[in-house]
């Protein structure tokens, strides 16, 4: 980004502010704060900014997904006024007279036709309002949307500081990493993580699996998981689950209800009853996983190991986060749910990098080319 001339110019800045909001209150501000260095750098160098972001997956206008709460928080973080623009027409009126050092922020870009469809006409309409384009939205780099891959066709462009950092740190995982390399994979959607698991089976020294991913593997091995969440329709027969690199939980915290206040019982894997849910990895699994982590020189982790929405079932994830944070290994953690755990424990500074990407992180590490990054080349 340092080579991009921005003094006196209007910068179209694409960021990833897709954060959890409940009743107008932002529950996790990490993705917002992660782009602050890029914003401050551009302002310091004499630019004016038109910030573009999305929230959720709306189909047209949806008041619950307005960016208004984010504008308020960002304004406080920057200690600077931000002019919130609700429509493209309003942006077309204000952008041409935007003065140096000022900031406009457009309403949720996914409210407008043409964004998700990757309309070049829509991208061109936005592009004429700026002089240069900067993409700092790593979390959306795997999307072929107009504000990600369309605008760079019409303007001089660059990656932002956050996007540059994401590519640098994630790129080190396989190219420059010290061994042993330990991968920790949790969460619920195994379909999106299969390419990553396959990649780690080739290149990592150990893979620790928890959450819904572990349930799916256990079910595929015809081991009882009771009522637990699992992608039972996903074919994983081609994965080498017999590899000695692959480590499943050996015990689990099980419960009859995934609600706050529910009691749980620890059972060995394979002894889960029909009416029970696997809610977390058990104490023996925690000890096993921590022992493997203790020997690691590189750690990469995506997705929680249990049903962390209920505090009682977050123990396995919390214990392992603490173990990873205290390790001297090169360590990266990513994914919204997991990032919130790290943030709540105030351990982000103990990590080498906390990725803002979920799906983008998975695809990048799986070796896929991300459209948003390719568009900047």
114 HSE (CA, 13 A, CB side) = 14
pLDDT digits (tens, 9 = 90+) for 58-67: 999 999 999 9
Q: What per-residue confidence (pLDDT) applies to 71?
A: 97
Strand partners of residue 302: 185, 334
Average pLDDT (357-365) is 90
Same domain, 349 and 293: yes
- Give me the chain's average pLDDT, please: 94
Same domain, 265 and 215: yes
Same domain, 104 and 214: no
> Hey, which residues are catalytic here?
31, 189, 336, 359
Residue 312 pLDDT > 80: yes
Q: What percent of the chain has pLDDT over 90?
A: 82
Q: What is the DSSP letter of 110?
A: G
Contact 34, 18 (CB under 8 A): no
Distance of alpha carbon 308 from alpha carbon 121, whole angstroms: 43
How, if at all, do strands 330-334 and 103-106 pair?
unpaired
pLDDT digits (tens, 9 = 90+) for 174-212: 887 899 999 999 987 778 888 888 889 888 999 999 999
Q: DSSP string covering 271-308, please?
A: ---TT-EEEEE-HHHHHHHHHHHHT-SEEEEES-SS-T
Contact 298, 189 (CB under 8 A): no
Kindly indicate the confidence band of residue 163, based on its pLDDT and cuts at 50, 70 and 90.
Answer: very high
Distance of alpha carbon 14 from alpha carbon 12, whole angstroms: 7
Same domain, 197 and 341: yes
Q: What per-residue confidence (pLDDT) applies to 185?
A: 94
Average pLDDT (347-371) is 92
For residue 21, being part of any structural domain is answered with yes
Same domain, 182 and 118: no
For residue 345, being part of any structural domain is answered with yes
For residue 121, being part of any structural domain is answered with yes
CATH number at residue 204: 3.40.50.1260
Distance of alpha carbon 142 from alpha carbon 67, whole angstroms: 22
Same domain, 151 and 208: no
Kindly indicate the confidence band of residue 4, based on its pLDDT and cuts at 50, 70 and 90.
Answer: very high
Question: Rounded to the nearest 5°, which phi and psi values hold at 146?
Answer: -60, -40
Kindly indicate the confidence band of residue 289, based on its pLDDT and cuts at 50, 70 and 90.
Answer: very high
Same domain, 216 and 340: yes
Q: What per-residue confidence (pLDDT) applies to 2?
A: 84
Q: What per-residue confidence (pLDDT) applies to 69?
A: 96
What range defines the domain where residue 310 resides?
Answer: 177-365
Task: Give the number of other CB atoms < 10 A from CB of residue 87.
Answer: 12
Same domain, 218 and 145: no
Average pLDDT (20-49) is 94
Contact 165, 6 (CB under 8 A): no
For residue 1, being part of any structural domain is answered with no
How, if at all, do strands 103-106 and 83-85 pair?
parallel
Average pLDDT (242-260) is 94
Q: Looking at the 3D structure of the chain, how many domains does it have?
A: 2
Same domain, 112 and 28: yes
How, if at all, do strands 246-247 and 83-85 pair?
unpaired
For residue 49, being part of any structural domain is answered with yes
Domain boundary among 164, 198, 227: 164
Same domain, 249 and 271: yes
Average pLDDT (125-130) is 98
The set of residues, in sequence order, having a beta carbon less than 8 Å from that of 59 and lying 6+ positions away, is none
Domain boundary among 164, 197, 225: 164
Distance of alpha carbon 191 from alpha carbon 366, whole angstroms: 13
> Which H or E run includes 252?
strand 251-255
Q: What per-residue confidence (pLDDT) applies to 241?
A: 76
Q: What per-residue confidence (pLDDT) applies to 242?
A: 81
């Amino acid at each position: 980004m340092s080579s991009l001339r921005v003094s006196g110019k209007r910068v179209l800045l694409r960021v990833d502010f897709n954060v959890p909001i409940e009743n107008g209150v932002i529950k996790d501000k990490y993705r917002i704060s992660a782009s602050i260095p890029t914003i401050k750098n551009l302002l310091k160098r004499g630019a004016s900014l038109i910030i573009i972001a999305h929230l959720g997956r709306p189909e047209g206008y949806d008041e619950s997904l307005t960016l208004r709460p984010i504008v308020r928080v960002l304004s406080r973080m920057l200690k600077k006024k931000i002019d919130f623009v609700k429509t493209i027409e309003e942006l077309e009126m204000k952008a041409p007279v935007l003065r140096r050092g000022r900031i406009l922020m457009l309403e949720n870009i996914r409210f407008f036709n043409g964004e998700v469809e990757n309309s070049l006409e829509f991208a061109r309409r936005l592009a004429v309002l700026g002089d240069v384009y900067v993409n700092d939205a790593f979390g959306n780099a795997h999307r072929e949307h107009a504000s990600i891959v369309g605008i760079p066709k019409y303007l001089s462009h660059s990656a932002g500081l956050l996007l540059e950092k994401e590519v640098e740190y994630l790129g080190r995982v396989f190219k420059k990493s010290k061994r042993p390399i330990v991968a920790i994979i949790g969460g619920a959607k195994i379909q999106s993580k299969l390419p990553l698991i396959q990649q780690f089976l080739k290149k990592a020294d150990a893979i620790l699996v928890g959450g819904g991913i572990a349930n799916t593997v256990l079910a595929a091995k015809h081991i009882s998981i009771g009522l637990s969440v699992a992608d039972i329709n996903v074919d994983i027969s081609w994965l080498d689950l017999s590899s000695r690199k692959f480590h499943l939980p050996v015990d689990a915290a099980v419960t009859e209800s995934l609600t706050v206040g529910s009691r749980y019982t620890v059972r060995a894997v394979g002894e889960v009853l029909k009416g029970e849910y696997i809610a977390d990895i058990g104490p023996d699994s925690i000890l096993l996983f921590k022992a493997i982590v203790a020997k690691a020189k590189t750690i990469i982790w995506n997705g929680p190991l249990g049903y962390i929405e209920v505090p009682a079932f977050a123990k396995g994830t919390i214990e392992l986060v603490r173990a990873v944070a205290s390790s001297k290994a090169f360590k990266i953690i990513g994914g919204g749910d997991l990032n919130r755990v790290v943030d709540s424990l105030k351990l982000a500074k103990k990590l080498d990098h906390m990725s803002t990407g979920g799906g983008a992180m998975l695809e990048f590490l799986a070796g896929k080319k991300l459209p948003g990054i390719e568009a900047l080349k």
